[in-house]
Structure 1
Amino acid sequence: MSLLLPRRTVLGAVLATPWLAACATLLKTRTVRAAAPFDMPSITVPDFAHARPFLITDFGADQSDQTKTSAALAAAIHAAHTSGCGTVIVPGGIWPTGPVHLKSHVNLHLARGATLLFSEKPEDYLPAVQTSWEGIECFNYSPLVYAYDCTHIALTGEGRLQAKLDVWKEWYKRPKPHMDALVALYHMAFKNVPVADRNMAVGDNHLRPHFVQFNRCRNVLVEDITIEDSPFWVLHPFLCRDVVIRRVKVRAHGHNNDGVDPEMSQNVLIEDCTFDQGDDAVSVKSGRDMDAWRLNTPARNIVMRDCRVLNGHQLMAIGSELSAGIENVFVDNCHFTGDGKGADGWAVPVNNILFVKTNERRGGYVKNIHLSNVSATKIAGGVLCVETDVLYQWRTLTPTYVRKLTPIEGLHVRHVRVDEAKFLCRITAEAEMPVKNVSLRDIQVQTLLEDPVTTQNVEAFTHEA
Structure 2
Amino acid sequence: MPRQVTLLIVLLLICGFGCTQRHEPVSLQQIQVEAPFEMPPISYPDFSKTEKLNIVDFGADPKDQKATSNAISEAISKANSLGGGTVIIPPGEWPTGKIHFKSHVNLHLEKGATLLFSGNPEDYLPAVQSTWEGMECFNYSPLIYAFECENIAITGEGELKAQMDIWEVWFARPDAHMQALKKLYTMASEGVPVQERQMVGDEANFRPQFIQFNRSKNILLEGVTITNSPFWVIHPFLSKDIVIRDVKVFAHGHNNDGVDPEMSQNILIEDCVFDQGDDAIAVKSGRNQDAWRLNTPTKNLVIRNSLVKNGHQLLAIGSELSGGVENVFMENCTVEEGAKLNHLLFIKTNERRGGNVSNIYLKNIKSGRIDLGILGIETDVLYQWRDLVPTYERRLTPIKNIYLENVKAGNVEFVSRILADPELPVENIQLSNVQYDSLRGEKLIHENVVNFKMD
Q: Name the TM-score class by shorter chain.
A: over 0.9
Matched ranges for 1:23-42 at <5 A: 23=23, 25-42=24-41
Partner residue in 1 for 2:332:
333
Equivalence for 2:408: 417
Shift of 1:446: 0.5
Matched, 1:158 2:157: yes
Contact 1:358 1:406 in 2 (8 A): yes
User: Match for 1:271: what amino acid?
Assistant: E
In structure 2, the residue corresponding to 1:67 is in which secondary structure? helix
Partner residue in 2 for 1:205: 204
Aligned match of 1:319: 318
CA distance in 2, matches of 1:408, 1:168: 36
Q: 1:83 offset after TM fit, Å?
A: 1.2
CA distance in 2, matches of 1:281, 1:367: 20
Give 3-state SS (helix, strand or coil) of 2:165's partner: coil
Which structure 2 residues correspond to residues 176-187 of structure 1 after superposition, within 5 A? 176-187=175-186
User: Identical aligned pairs, as a percentage?
Assistant: 55
Q: Which residue of 2 aligns with 1:346?
A: none
Give the corresponding residue for 2:365. 374
Whole-angstrom CA distance in 2 between matches of 1:18 and 1:238? 44
Shift of 1:34: 1.4
- Extract unaligned runs of 5+ from structure 2: 1-16
Moved more, 450-459 or 233-242: 450-459
Q: For 1:154, give the aligned amino acid.
A: A
Equivalent in the alignment of 1:296: 295
Contact 2:348/2:379 (8 A) holds in 1: yes
Aligned length: 439
Structure 2 CA distance for aligned equivalents of residues 315 and 41 of structure 1: 25
CA distance in 2, matches of 1:19, 1:457: 72
Alignment match, 1:54: 53
TM-score (norm 2): 0.95
Paired AA for residue 219 in structure 1: N
1:174 is matched with 173
Task: State how 1:114-263 maps to structure 2 within 5 Å.
Answer: 114-263=113-262
User: d(CA) in 2 for partners of 1:84 and 1:459?
Assistant: 54
2: CA distance between counterparts of 1:74 and 1:423?
A: 51
Asked if the contact 1:211–1:232 (Cα under 8 Å) also holds between the matched residues in 2, the reply is: yes
Listed one character per residue, the Cα deviations across residues 187-230 of structure 1 (whole Å, up to 9, x for unaligned) are 11111111111110112010000000000000000000100000
Report the alpha carbon displacement of residue 19 of structure 1 after superposing the two structures with TM.
Answer: 12
Deviation at 1:427, TM superposition (A): 0.4
Matching residue of 2:11 = none
After the TM superposition, which residues 54-93 of structure 1 pair with which residues of structure 2 at under 5 Å, given as runs? 54-93=53-92
Q: Determine the structure 1 residue equivalent to 2:3.
A: none
1:454 maps onto 2:445 in alignment: yes
1:381 to partner: Cα distance: 1.2
TM-score by length of 1: 0.93
Kindly provide the CA deviation profile for residues 415-450 of structure 1, in whole angstroms up to 9, marking residues without a partner as x: 001111111111010111000000001011001101
CA distance in 1, matches of 2:400, 2:184: 31
Q: SS of the residue aligned with 1:333?
A: strand
SS in 1 for 2:367: strand
Partner letter of residue 120 of structure 2? K
Whether contact under 8 Å (1:386, 1:428) holds in the other structure is yes
State whether residues 309 and 338 of structure 1, in contact with CA within 8 Å, keep that contact through their aligned partners in structure 2: no
1:26, 1:51 within 8 Å by CA — same for their partners in 2? yes
State the 1:33 CA deviation.
1.8
Counterpart in 2 of 1:392? 383
Uncovered stretches (5+) of structure 1, i.e. residues with no partner? 1-16, 341-348
SS of the residue 1:334 aligns to:
strand
- SS of 1:439's equivalent in the other structure is strand
Q: Is the 8 A contact 2:25 2:85 kept in 1?
A: no
Larger mean Cα displacement after TM superposition, 449-458 or 106-115: 449-458
CA positional deviation for 1:18: 12
Secondary structure at the counterpart of residue 120 of structure 1: coil
Pairing partner for 2:396 from 386, 390, 405: 405
Structure 1 residues 152 and 451, CA gap change in structure 2 (3 angstroms) = same
Q: Which residue identity lines up with residue 435 of structure 2 in the other structure?
A: Q
Alignment partner of 1:94: what SS? Answer: strand
Output the CA distance in 1 between the equivalents of 2:195 and 2:52.
36
Mapped partners of 1:66, 1:263: distance in 2 = 32
What CA deviation, in whole Å up to 9, does each residue of 1:40-69 have, x standing for no partner? 111000000111001000000000000000
State how far apart, in whole Å, the 1-side matches of 2:98 and 2:19 are: 30
Distance in 1, Cα, partners of 2:295 & 2:179: 27
One-letter code aligned to 2:292: W
1:264-323 C-alpha deviation (Å, 9 max, x unpaired): 000011000000010000011000001000000000000110010000000000110000
C-alpha displacement of 1:26: 3.4
| 1:363 correspondence with 2:362 | no
Code of the aligned partner of 1:445: Y
Q: Alpha-carbon deviation of 1:80? A: 0.5
SS in 2 for 1:419: strand
Distance 2:284 2:452 in 1: 25
Q: Hey, what does 2:270 align to over in structure 1?
A: 271
Q: Which amino acid aligns with 2:432?
A: R
CA contact (8 A) 2:25 2:82 kept: no
Residues 302-357 of structure 1 deviation map (CA, whole Å, 9 limit, x = unaligned): 011001000000000011000010000001000101414xxxxxxxx110000000
Stretches of 4+ aligned residues off by more than 6 angstroms: 17-20
Residue of structure 2 aligned with 1:445, choices 424, 436, 442: 436
Hey, what's the Cα distance between the residues in 1 that align with 2:170 and 2:40?
A: 40
